[in-house]
Amino acid sequence: MEKVLNDFIYYLSVEKGLATNTLESYQRDLKKFLSFLQKNGILDISEVSRKHITDFLMEEREKGLVASTVTRNLASIRSFFNFLQKERFIAENPTVELESPKSEKKLPRVISFSDIEILLEQPPVGDVIGIRDKAMLELLYATGIRVSELVSLNINNINAKTGFLRCDGKGNKERMIPLGSLAIRSVQEYLKNGRQKLIKQKDEKALFINQHGKRLTRQGFWKILKKYAIKAGISAEITPHTLRHSFATHLLENGADLRSVQEMLGHADISTTQVYTQVTRKKIREIYNQTHPRA
């Protein structure tokens, strides 16, 4: 079973071109499932039945995992067995007609524009690290890119003259995102007075560099963001995705059309982007209730 799992991951990497983070997620989910099978005496993948899969998912729910995580586990298992059937490792697919558990749809957590402004003012622009941090925060809010996309940027992904960022998103799908003047100014300041003092090797391609002269990691950025959120006095929990959610919500609140926001976020399906309209409708309802004399 370990061999067919490795074959599947290789297939996702080479033929599907999935990102490293996605591959790791598939591998993690499926290793957990295979471990469950082995614990229950199933050593041949062709012996797996629908009941084995439902028992595994039920066990995961009993451990306290939320429905969305269990749904993701099932999606990984379903993709795995689709591959096995396609490659003729198995004759019948046990995931056919297997329903996903109903997942609670939570609205994205956003923070107000005033809190965003306070957050963006926290990095001390009098030192190299502060200049870098300011550029990262401005860029993240200006474009709505994912944190993995932020730390993967190279210096040639930014075109300050045209005011665009070229981003390689999920599945290596490229998209062009406009940059605001404040973000451009912060990035230019970092390139001029920050990055050159951080790099150790002249041929370094990474845009954002850590104190060791290497590409900044996702974990590194999370710590940076958390530090400035505390400094800004933002009580709500804030993650890099909070800035992405806030970017999309603030655009829609100010009249941006859904298709444009979908394009900038890199969503394959517009239904994923539509969740932000629920956030804006909720805010409109709150304003109405607070201001209408007969609300």
Tell me whether residue 292 is one of the annotated catalytic residues: no
Element at 79 (helix H, strand E): helix 67-86
Coil, strand or helix: which one is 46? helix
Catalytic position from the list 26, 190, 228, 276: 276
Tell me whether residue 134 is one of the annotated catalytic residues: no
What is the C-alpha separation between 223 and 225, in angstroms, rounded? 6
Tell me whether residue 245 is one of the annotated catalytic residues: no
**CA-based nearest residue to 241, from 260, 210, 265, 257:** 265
| Structure tokens belonging to residue 128 | 């190299």
Catalytic position from the list 50, 61, 170, 214: 170
What is the C-alpha separation between 38 and 15, in angstroms, rounded? 29
Q: What string of H, E and C letters represents the secondary structure of 49-60?
A: CHHHHHHHHHHH
Catalytic position from the list 132, 134, 141, 146: 146
Contact between residue 17 and residue 56 where contact means Cβ atoms under 8 Å apart: no
Catalytic position from the list 132, 134, 195, 244: 244
Contact between residue 26 and residue 7 where contact means Cβ atoms under 8 Å apart: no
Tell me whether residue 166 is one of the annotated catalytic residues: no
Tell me whether residue 175 is one of the annotated catalytic residues: no
Angle CA 140–145–150, to nearest 5: 70
Contact between residue 276 and residue 149 where contact means Cβ atoms under 8 Å apart: no
Catalytic position from the list 132, 245, 250, 267: 267
Tell me whether residue 146 is one of the annotated catalytic residues: yes
Catalytic position from the list 86, 226, 241, 282: 241
**DSSP structural state of residue 106:** P
Contact between residue 239 and residue 222 where contact means Cβ atoms under 8 Å apart: yes
CA distances from 262 to 137, 150, 175, 231, 256 (A): 21, 18, 11, 32, 10
Residue numbers annotated as active site = 146, 170, 241, 244, 267, 276
